[in-house]
Amino acid sequence: MSDRAKSASEGMKRIIRGMPILGGLVVRLYRSVRSRHAPPPPFSGSATYWEQRYLNGGNSGVGSYGKFARFKADVINQFVAQHGVKSVIEFGCGDGNQLELAKYPGYRGFDVSETAISLCRKRFAADHTKQFRLMSEYTGETADLALSLDVIFHLVEDDVFQAHIATLFNAADRYVIIYSSNADDNHGYEGTHVRHRKFTDWIATNVGLWKMMEQVTNQYPYRGDYREGSFADLYVYENTGGPGWRERVPGRAP
C-alpha cells in the first residue's frame, strides 16, 4: 500500500472511531472484511497444517460428513462383512466423524495431529473396540484391512506421500482401501494443502504383490461444487503375496 493510501486509510479509521457506538461496529466490520480478503498463510507442511486446523476448531472436512461419509461407510461396512474382516487399521483417522458410521469388529486409528487423537479418544471413550494413537507412536501394527480415506490428496510432500503408501500397505494383512482423487491435474491448487496424484500408477510401479480388486465410483461425482460432489473414488486392493510377503517388499514399514 502506498504512503498516500495508508494515510487515507488511517484518516478514515480515525473518523469512524469518533462516531459513538457505530464507530466500534464499523471498525470491527472493516477488520473482518480485510481478514477475509487477506492472502492465506503460507503452507507449512502437512502435519503442521492439520494440527493447527484441529487446534483452531476445524474438522476433517466435507468429505467426512453428510452424504460423502455415508457413501464411504456403506461401501466399506459391506466389504468388511462380506470378506470376514476382523480388524481394521486407519492412517489419518481425523476427528472421528467418519468413524461414527463404521461397523468394524476391531479398530486402530492413527493421525499426525495430537488434537485429532484427543478428540477421537473423548468421542469413543466408551467404545473399547477402538484405539487411537499418534503416527509417531506407530510400531508396525497390522490388521486385515488398512484404510486411507481423504488423505492422499492432502499429502503435498513427495516423501510424506511415499512413506504413507509404504506404511499403509505394510500394515495390511489382506486388503487396502483408499479413498482419494487419482489424477495429476493440480491447476489452481498450487501452494495449498491439496495435491492431486495419479497414485494408482505409483502403486503399480512401486508396490509389489498387490492387485486392485475394484474401483467404486463415487455416488456423488464432482461437477464444480465440492459441497455437492467429490473428485474421490474408492480403490480396493488385495494382497496376492501370501505368507511372508512383507519380507519381499523393499522399504517395508518397521
* DSSP secondary structure string for all residues of 176-223: EEEEE------TTTTTSS-----HHHHHHHH--SEEEEEEE--SSB-S
Instruction: Say if residue 155 is in the same domain as residue 197.
Output: yes
| CATH classification at residue 130 | 3.40.50.150
**With a threshold of 0.85, does the pTM exceed it?**
no
Instruction: Say if residue 102 is in the same domain as residue 215.
Output: yes
pLDDT of residue 53: 73
Domain extent at residue 10: 3-37
Instruction: Say if residue 60 is in the same domain as residue 159.
Output: yes
For residue range 74-116, list pLDDT tens digits in order: 999 999 999 999 999 999 998 888 999 999 999 999 998 999 9
Inside any domain, residue 254 = no
Instruction: Say if residue 8 is in the same domain as residue 31.
Output: yes
For residue range 224-241, list pLDDT tens digits in order: 787 888 889 999 999 988
For 88, counting Cβ atoms within 10 Å of its Cβ (0-12 exposed, 13-18 middle, 19+ buried), the class is buried
In angstroms, the Cα distances linking 209 to 9, 10, 85, 135, 220 are 64, 66, 20, 25, 32
pLDDT of residue 222: 77
Instruction: Name the band, by pLDDT with cuts 50, 70 and 90, for residue 208.
Output: confident
Number of domains in the chain: 2
Whole-number percent of the chain with pLDDT over 70 = 70
Inside any domain, residue 198 = yes
Reply yes or no on whether the pLDDT at 223 is more than 90.
no
DSSP tally for the chain: helices H, then strands E = 7, 7
Reply yes or no on whether the pLDDT at 197 is more than 80.
yes
Instruction: Say if residue 220 is in the same domain as residue 115.
Output: yes
